[in-house]
Amino acid sequence: MKPIRKDEQEYLREYIKDKFRDKRSALESDREIEVEQQAKKNYKKFVNTLKISQMQKEIVKLEKDYEDFKLQKEKIELRKHMKLSEAVNKLKDHFNKWKNIRRWEHSPDFSNYDGTSIKTEAIDKFVNEVLLEETRKAYDNSNKGKAIKELDAQRESCENALYSGSSLGSVRQYIHNVLTKAKIEDAMPNQLMIENK
pLDDT of residue 100: 93
Structural domains in the chain (count): 1
**Residue 152: inside a domain, yes or no?**
yes
**Residue 59: inside a domain, yes or no?**
yes
**Residue 1: inside a domain, yes or no?**
no
- The ranges of the chain with pLDDT < 50 are 196-197
Give residue-wise pLDDT tens across range 75-110: 777 888 888 888 888 999 999 999 999 998 888 887
pLDDT of residue 93: 93
pLDDT of residue 193: 57
pLDDT of residue 194: 56
**Residue 41: inside a domain, yes or no?**
yes
**Residue 131: inside a domain, yes or no?**
yes
CA angle 164, 168, 170 (to 5 degrees): 75
Across-strand partners of 167? 3
pLDDT of residue 108: 84
**Residue 30: inside a domain, yes or no?**
yes
Nearest to 158 by CA among 4, 15, 5: 15
Domain limits for position 156:
6-193
Nearest to 38 by CA among 175, 181, 145, 155: 145
Q: Which residues contact 7 (CB under 8 A, 6 or more apart)?
A: none
pLDDT of residue 197: 45
Burial 10-22 (b: 16+ CB within 10 A, else e): eebeebbeebbee
Please name the amino acid found at residue 15: Y
pTM for the whole thing? 0.58
